[in-house]
Amino acid sequence: MCRMSRLDTQDFRFFYIIQLLVSVTTSQFSPSSWISGGVCSSVSSCPPAVTPGQMGPLAAVPILAGLNGVLGIWAVFGVAWLSGTVTLTEDFPYISTCGDQPPASCWFSQVCNIGCVLALIFETLRFRHLKDCPKCSSRLNIASFSLGIISSVGLSITGNFQVSSVTSVHYIGAFLGFAGGLAYLWIQLLLISNRILKYSGYALCSVCTVLLCCLVGFHHSRRYHAAAICEWTLATLFFLLYPLFVFEFADIKCKLTIKSSGCGQHGSAEPQYQPGDSDAATAL
């Protein structure tokens, strides 16, 4: 009987996969059908699944973070190669080497600074979003948010302190950016509600973790060509992890409230702001 129940379960999974493939080919598939299980699936107060037509503007945050990272670092490589500051005759250059000399260093700093801002926006919105979910661990959410801030600061340090100028600070920033960022994304993948994107993220994050270990090992053994290839692959896959959260951001709504006490000079007799006065609010 136990054997038959196992076969029935396998048959059910097989027919579910067949039904899923048929729905995709007949254009009857919607992303909301992906959402099953996960940390917020059974909590009524957590936001429901959304379809692409229902996505809010904040869904662009993870996409922009990924595009800025992937396109940005390869644009730095292109500028460095065209300007002649790096060559491909001997070894493949590190990202840091490409962004070490102007004009590529200017682009590298700008890409890292924009990435830092986008990452901080991503982490703040994600932290506040998970804070409203009663089934999510508050300690895990706070720990993840702290790691995200460390990673963002490390990214900014990497871009603003070139490797030839302040080598130790540059390497510390790069380590905080990659290691802290991977730790942050690992925790976030545990809290993501979409199972398909969750396991896709697990696969990408596992590859990134292995590449980070290989990068450190190859660099210390002075196999710089292999280390550089690992670094470029790691950076590309790392930034591709952010768009996986697009459906998590699709139903987030943010409102900016500005409270003013009036336009008069300090100490004037004009009425000041009192509780209950009207607020100017702008929905994002």
pLDDT tens-digit profile of 134-174?
Answer: 888 889 999 999 999 999 999 999 999 999 999 999 999 99
**In which band, very low, low, confident or very high, does the pLDDT at 235 lie, cut at 50, 70 and 90?**
very high
* Cα–Cα dist 188/89, whole Å: 41
pLDDT tens-digit profile of 101-132?
Answer: 999 999 999 999 999 999 999 999 999 999 98
**In which band, very low, low, confident or very high, does the pLDDT at 274 lie, cut at 50, 70 and 90?**
low
pLDDT at residue 6 greater than cutoff 90: no
Contacts (Cβ under 8 Å, ≥6 apart) of 9: none
The mean pLDDT of the chain is 81
**In which band, very low, low, confident or very high, does the pLDDT at 41 lie, cut at 50, 70 and 90?**
very low
69 token code pair = 């990272």
DSSP 170-185: HHHHHHIIIIIHHHHH
Give the containing element (helix H, strand E) for 51. Answer: none
Residue at 213: amino acid letter: C
Taking a C-beta distance cutoff of 8 angstroms, is the pair 151, 175 a contact? Answer: no
pLDDT tens-digit profile of 166-198?
Answer: 999 999 999 999 999 999 999 999 988 888 999
Q: Roughly what angle, to the nearest 10 degrees, separates helices 181-191 and 104-131?
A: 30
* Cα–Cα dist 178/104, whole Å: 21
Mean pLDDT to the nearest integer, 275-280: 51
> Which residues does residue 258 pair with via DSSP β-bridges, in sequence order?
280
